[in-house]
Amino acid sequence: MPRSRAEEDARSEIIRLVMHRTLSPGERVVEQALAEQMELSRTPVRNALRELIAEGFLERLDPKGARVPVLSPEDMKRLFQARGEAEGLAAREAAEAITEEELERLRVLFAREEAVYRSWSIDGFTEVNCAFHRGVAEGSHSPYLVRFVQQCFWRSQVYVFFFDQFYLGYREYEGTRVPPGYDFSHEAHRGVLEALADRDAPRARRLMEGHVRETYEALLRRE
């Protein structure tokens, strides 16, 4: 069922609060307080919280509350192992099943990502990065892979928001082009996209697994 505009706004704002580190790991997220802050009724906020809990971005505390997940090295290791396996499999399946229309949508997202890197926009990058990874998973035409990839992706984003150099550096460099070394995700996406277009399933899987592993290793250096 499509989200309402209010639910979309609530979801985006909750993600933004974590992305900008206004909400910290382990911090409680209160439905009523969020609704008042966003000037929304509690229903769309409640629905947004439920969705983000289901995706792993938040954790349920009680019927009306949630929290930002507590982060740990062991959890991060297991999470990125699962994400690498899931996204690698999804990329392999997508190389065989993706349609030309779906490929074109990924090409458009890749072009948008280049513009994001020119302006160091973490909000813009988060949106396009999520859409790219989801688009690859959807190209597999497996609803089970899409669901599991989304859960792993959004849980891992909490680690990315707090430890990735791209997100840590934006306050100083926002509005300027990202320097070399900060845009490894963009180059990884290029490789995956080319493998999908070539219908090369083993290469698509290898590159996607490598991309997730490289993200994990970059976080380890910042943790």
Please report the domains of the chain, with CATH numbers, ordered by start residue.
Answer: 5-67 (1.10.10.10), 73-222 (1.20.120.530)
Q: What residues contact 175, with CB distance under 8 A and at least 6 apart?
A: 119, 120
159 touches 79 (CB < 8 A): yes
Looking at beta carbons, which pairs linking 20-24 to residues 24 or more positions away fall under 8 Å?
20/122, 21/161, 21/162, 23/68, 24/68
**SS3 for 212?**
helix
Residue 183 has a pLDDT of 63
Question: Which ranges of the chain have pLDDT less than 70?
Answer: 1-2, 64, 166, 168-183, 223
Residue 121 has a pLDDT of 77
Residue 182 has a pLDDT of 52
Residue 114 has a pLDDT of 82
For residue 70, the surrounding DSSP H or E stretch is: none
**SS3 for 61?**
strand
Backbone φ and ψ of 67, nearest 5°: -145, 160
Distance, CA of 10 to CA of 48 (rounded, Å): 6
Angle between the N-to-C axes of helices 122-139 and 5-19, in degrees from 0 to 180, rounded to the nearest 10: 120
Distance, CA of 204 to CA of 71 (rounded, Å): 30
